[in-house]
Amino acid sequence: MVIEPVPYDHPDAALLTAQVQRVYEERYGEADVTPLDPGEFSAPRGLFLVAYADDGTPVASGAWRAHDGPAPFFRAGDAELKRMYVTEAARGRGYARAVLAELERAAVAAGRKRVVLETGLRQPEAIALYRSCGYTDIPNYGVYRDEPDCVCLAKELVTGGLGTGAE
């Protein structure tokens, strides 16, 4: 497995983002409508990763973008996860944990103190992954904060030694 940082508009990132949007449509009836600016996923205030199988096929993605407020939803030093996805054919092989660990490592390197994310009850595999990696429930935020299916999670990042649970 190779994990590479790519621009948000890179063809492999666009491919995987389109695939995850189709999953959202299947599970929730619509794509994610959270406003995103591609520039938010550029260093030093963000990152977009693509994981590649040994044959070079893009099979997983994940990203973070910096948030330093507004309270009460975000705190100074937050990194918000977006577009975590593993293709169906590549699931169960550790790609999600590897991408998540690299996102957390990069967020710490960029001075981020906490990772936050929003997902939904119709993504039980995502919730299980995050909780197994140390994420805990926080009050809902974002576009879907009033939706009953929304689940928001966070994890404090440890500077100087990650301890992601994703190793």
Domain that holds residue 62: 2-156
pLDDT value, residue 160: 56
Which among 151, 128, 143, 148 is positioned nearest to 31, based on CA atoms? 143
> Which amino acid makes up residue 35?
P
The strand order across the sheet containing 46-52 reads: 2-5, 46-52, 58-67, 78-86, 114-120, 150-156, 136-137
Q: What is the mean pLDDT of each run of 10 residues along the chain (167 residues)?
A: 97 98 95 93 97 98 94 92 97 97 97 97 97 97 92 88 44
Residue 11 lies in a domain: yes
Q: Using an 8 Å Cβ cutoff, are 59 and 3 in contact?
A: no
pLDDT value, residue 22: 96
Torsional sign, CA 37, 39, 41, 44: negative
pLDDT value, residue 38: 95
Which among 109, 58, 107, 114 is positioned nearest to 87, based on CA atoms? 58
Residue 120 lies in a domain: yes
Q: What is the CATH number of the domain that holds 17?
A: 3.40.630.30
Residue 162 lies in a domain: no
What gap in Å lies between CA 56 and CA 162, rounded to an integer?
28
CA distances from 3 to 9, 107, 121 (A): 17, 15, 28
pLDDT value, residue 116: 98
Put simply, whether the predicted model's pTM sits higher than 0.75 gets the answer yes
Neighbours of 147 (CB within 10 A): 14
Residue 122 lies in a domain: yes
Residue 163 lies in a domain: no
Residue 75 lies in a domain: yes
Residue 41 lies in a domain: yes
Domain count, the chain: 1
Residue 165 lies in a domain: no
